Structure 1
Amino acid sequence: MTESNCSSPVQLQARGIESMESRSSAPSPHLLFVTSPMQGHINPVRRLAARVAAAADPRVTISTAVSGHRRMFPTLASPDEEAVDAAGLLHVPFSDGYDEGFDRSVHDARSYAARARAAGRETLSGVLARLADRGRPVTRVVYTFLVGWAPEVARAHGVPATLLWIQPAAVFAVYYHCFHGHGAALASCANDPARDAVVRLPGLPPLNSRALPSIVAVTSPEQQGYPVLGILRDLFLAFDGDSRPTKVLVNTFDALEPEALRAIMPGLEFVAVGPVVPDIGASPSSTDLSLCDVDASGYMEWLDAQAARSVVYVSFGTVFTASRRQELETLQGLKATGRPYLGVLRKVGGEEGSALDGTDGDGGADDGRQGMVVEWCDQSRVLSHPAVGCFVTHCGWNSALESIASGVPIVAVPQWTDQPTVAWVVEECAGVGVRVAVDGEGVAGRGEIQRCVETVMGDGDAALEIRARAARWMERAKEAVTDGGALERNLQAFLSGL
């Protein structure tokens, strides 16, 4: 996907490179942001990279795998051709060996890490070499956790590297302690059948099993998530070889996670550079990889016709979606509330879908005009719309931060990885939402969805207090990202120390 004009990346490329080369005589730091091709990783990287470029005017380049690059710039003559986006940032892709994208129905997840590492190390090294040959040598690599091999490439080129952690600081702390003496305790707690165990980690409050990322429960290669466990282990153990204090950029803000940001992890120092959320009014392409061909007029006009704070917005993310049964239960629960809803869900068709009582298989507004189901939408625009009063979410960290920054209460329906901990931050730390209870199959039934929506949108004392806290957290988030706020100060301090 390109920027605001989806058909002109080549022209943008020409203008951007010309502009960059004209500054080549001026000494300046050059940060290369390296990330996996997952949307939830690319989006915060692009947003932070744009802030870095605006904050201190260093050179900034973004590099992701070819599969993600071609989604951002689909009209390029070649999928690995360089391009410049509307913010003027150069994108130079590398190959992770899956240029058509990773497909679970075709590819073996167990071999993903090794193949991506081998291909990525070679092709990212080529990116650094080409940039140096142009007189634009990289002076710092900033990388996300699924490309934990990037520092090896940086070191080979004599370049330092910094991790950008795109999940909560609390999740980082849990993973760190998982690989530094607390792995057995975490696995025991996470796998507690009674779900009432707690684990105590240095610098963190006691965490029960529901608050832990699902990865710490993995104990054998046969379990889902084992490859990710291996990637995380390599990432965190690599910190042990650095004799100097290591700074980690974290997409959070001080007021939201004060304990986690100061948790005891020898040799590591957090730099809070969040919340990295879209600027209100930004073009869709600056916030999402999938919006180039999506017409926003239908659902935005529908939202315009709804009363203030009356709409339930539902989205379960882009990669690991909720089960079909969870989607059906969610839709039925929404209908039972009698409240208007906007659902970003997979198409629900066939005999099973016909039971949705008015929502057709192709999406769109139902016959009773209660709800609208779409395949995708511009989430930042939706959450900032005055008609939206609640967000039913899988609790990906990007989505949770966007909701907090917009002052929208949350109904948390976490699935796996960091999402249970995000739900804990939302419910227990910030107090801006409630978490659903699930059955033996991990599904929240329609009655539970209805109960939780009413808990945050109703007229009771609990709902009023949740909405009041959501409004206060929105102000704190605004304070963090405003000019001269914590985000800018922390970012400037980090850049000045490069």
Structure 2
Amino acid sequence: MSSASDQEKLRPPPPHVLIFPMPVQGHLNPMLKLAHLLCLAEFHVTFIISDFNQHRLLQHTAASAAFSRCPGFQFRTFPDGLPDDHPRSGHRAMEFVSSVANVTVPLFKKMMIKENFLASAARRPVTCFVADGLLSFAPEFCEENGIPFIFFGTATTSYLWAIFRFPQLLEAQEIPLGGKSMDELIESMPGMEGIIRRRDLPGFVERAQAVVFNTCEDLEGQIVAEIHKHVPRVFSIGPIHHQVKHRLAEKKAESSIITASLWAEDRSCMDWLDAQPPRSVIYVSFGSLALVTREQVLEFLHGLLDSSQRFLWVVRPDSVTGSDGNDPVLTELMERIKGKGLLVEWAPQDKVLNHPAVGGFLTHSGWNSTLESIAAGVPMVCWPYFADQTTNSRFVSEVWKVGLDIKDTCDRKIIEEAIRDLMDVRKDEFMERAENLAKVVKRTVSKGGSSYNNLDGLIQYIKSLVV
């Protein structure tokens, strides 16, 4: 009679999923959480990461401890082609794009072939390649090597649909060219008619082929349905951070949710929040890439101070252009903040948004931040920076109606009025809608919810690829 260990040895290895994100925090975050979900499904997962980002990740997060409980997980590191003293953020953040294409991708391709597509005694060759939507080399690489390709969209589905429909928008002359009004509504986008204006469209175009989205049908169901007409399998499994929380609780797993923070989180802000009244604080953060000028900082500072609201503001050291950090005007204003607000360099955002003292979020409208705010039931004032953020802010204000969109302006009076509107004048109205929407998106990752079922569908699809 064979023992349990003998049966274990005879059991074929599970699917082996390769995950490759762009090496920036907003892309690492959801794709690390997908890796965690697949590990909970007892898959083998190989996660591609730069040497620099792995060092920062292990230094500032509990990722190492969390993944130590996932025996099927492994990092594979590569140089990103930039010198050690390169900041990889601020005004030089986008330099990594060409460096990844010219250095990381060729090394990755050589490694895959040399190591027989990561096969080992314990692992089968990769079953499928889950690639960030910004990695344009992935579809061709997969086709050449017979590897099933799964596209992961880190941006909002609405934004990717806008990109997918770009030729039709161009044909209908609805692209904002030739002096046309930026406020004119777009009518050539099924599922988004009468919502999106020309000014809400993405500022650049990328190749889009969608399969997995960090969204849910309750937020973007119409758009997901339109994309499904063009792609055979669409899995909307978000909000992915709540999906992980639910699956961990369901399995009674001894692990915490993994957050891909590349900066040290200042947790003293949680003590400060503990001392504030309920729903009295507006949290301010423009994410990991956005840049603001000295003049814009002054407008935001005056707007916040004039609103008479308490605030917690994340100001990355590299986020202000045109200032060496010793600006006397900024220093004076920072002094005025004392007693009215708190500035930190980085914060544990999900914990902040779920703190009872927080009643609003002044945000750049990145998709991770938007989803985290929605799931926490926190209304938003949206000041988008680039990419999908311009589309997200429009949906926050006009579709989900859980915030205000102040894009294309940075005026202290407008900022003051928007904050007062959100936190005081229409506070009850915004809070009620935000809390109701939070209940809806949380249900979607619970057993029987659409995102819960879609994740199960994704897991079964990957299992079906094993030959």
Q: TM-score range by the shorter chain?
A: 0.7 to 0.9
Residue 142 (structure 1) aligned with residue 130 (structure 2) = yes
Q: Superposed, which structure 2 residues align to 1:185-334 within 5 Å?
A: 185=172, 188-189=175-176, 192=179, 194-204=181-191, 205-206=193-194, 207-215=196-204, 229=205, 232=206, 235-236=207-208, 248-263=211-226, 266-268=229-231, 269-277=233-241, 286-291=258-263, 293-296=264-267, 298-334=268-304
Corresponding residue number in structure 2 for 1:244:
none
Query: Which amino acid is 1:151 matched to?
Result: P
Query: Which amino acid is 1:276 matched to?
Result: I
**Contact 2:80–2:96 at 8 Å: present in 1 too?**
no
**Contact 2:157–2:223 at 8 Å: present in 1 too?**
yes
Corresponding residue number in structure 2 for 1:18:
none
**Contact 1:456–1:463 at 8 Å: present in 2 too?**
yes
CA apart distance, 1:39: 0.3
Q: Superposed, which structure 2 residues align to 1:481-496 within 5 Å?
A: 481-496=445-460
Q: Secondary structure at the match of 1:163?
A: strand
**Contact 2:81–2:100 at 8 Å: present in 1 too?**
no
CA distance in 2, matches of 1:276, 1:120: 30
Q: Superposed, which structure 2 residues align to 1:30-109 within 5 Å?
A: 30-54=16-40, 56-73=41-58, 85-88=67-70, 89-98=73-82, 100=84, 102=88
Query: Quick one: structure 1 residues 70 and 134, their matched pair in 2 at CA, closer, same or farther if it must change by over 3 Å?
Result: farther
State the TM-score, normalized to the length of structure 1.
0.78
Deviation digits for residues 94-151 of structure 1, max 9, x if unmatched? 3443474657659968855751575255355258636213441210111111223123
Q: Secondary structure at the match of 2:216?
A: coil
- Uncovered stretches (5+) of structure 1, i.e. residues with no partner: 1-21, 76-81, 216-228, 240-246, 360-365
Corresponding residue number in structure 2 for 1:391:
361
**Contact 1:34–1:150 at 8 Å: present in 2 too?**
no
Query: Which amino acid is 1:287 matched to?
Result: T
Query: Quick one: structure 1 residues 186 and 286, their matched pair in 2 at CA, closer, same or farther if it must change by over 3 Å?
Result: farther
| Larger RCO (CA under 8 A, 6+ residues apart) | 2
CA apart distance, 1:92: 1.3
Query: Quick one: structure 1 residues 105 and 170, their matched pair in 2 at CA, closer, same or farther if it must change by over 3 Å?
Result: closer
CA apart distance, 1:486: 2.1
Find 1:169's aligned residue among 138, 153, 157.
157
**Contact 2:151–2:212 at 8 Å: present in 1 too?**
yes
Query: Which amino acid is 1:271 matched to?
Result: F
Deviation digits for residues 349-381 of structure 1, max 9, x if unmatched? 42131341625xxxxxx43x1100000010001
Query: Which amino acid is 2:203 matched to?
Result: S
CA distance in 2, matches of 1:321, 1:127: 41
Deviation digits for residues 30-63 of structure 1, max 9, x if unmatched? 1111111100000000112212222x32222211
Query: Quick one: structure 1 residues 338 and 258, their matched pair in 2 at CA, closer, same or farther if it must change by over 3 Å?
Result: same
CA apart distance, 1:193: 5.7
Query: Which amino acid is 1:149 matched to?
Result: F
Corresponding residue number in structure 2 for 1:4:
none
CA distance in 1, matches of 2:454, 2:94: 41
Give the length in aligned residue pairs.
429
State the TM-score, normalized to the length of structure 2.
0.82
Query: Quick one: structure 1 residues 436 and 175, their matched pair in 2 at CA, closer, same or farther if it must change by over 3 Å?
Result: same
Query: Which amino acid is 1:214 matched to?
Result: G
**Contact 2:174–2:198 at 8 Å: present in 1 too?**
no
**Contact 1:344–1:376 at 8 Å: present in 2 too?**
yes
Q: Secondary structure at the match of 1:425?
A: helix
Query: Quick one: structure 1 residues 377 and 199, their matched pair in 2 at CA, closer, same or farther if it must change by over 3 Å?
Result: same
Corresponding residue number in structure 2 for 1:28:
14
Residue 375 (structure 1) aligned with residue 345 (structure 2) = yes
**Contact 1:199–1:208 at 8 Å: present in 2 too?**
yes
**Contact 2:79–2:104 at 8 Å: present in 1 too?**
no
Provide the alpha-carbon RMSD of the alignment.
3.1
Q: Please, which moves more after superposition, 167-176 or 262-271?
A: 262-271
**Contact 1:412–1:435 at 8 Å: present in 2 too?**
yes
Query: Which amino acid is 2:295 matched to?
Result: R
Corresponding residue number in structure 2 for 1:125:
112
Query: Quick one: structure 1 residues 36 and 114, their matched pair in 2 at CA, closer, same or farther if it must change by over 3 Å?
Result: closer
CA distance in 1, matches of 2:293, 2:413: 17
CA distance in 2, matches of 1:63, 1:411: 35
CA distance in 2, matches of 1:467, 1:107: 36
**Contact 1:411–1:433 at 8 Å: present in 2 too?**
yes
CA apart distance, 1:420: 0.6
CA distance in 1, matches of 2:299, 2:199: 21
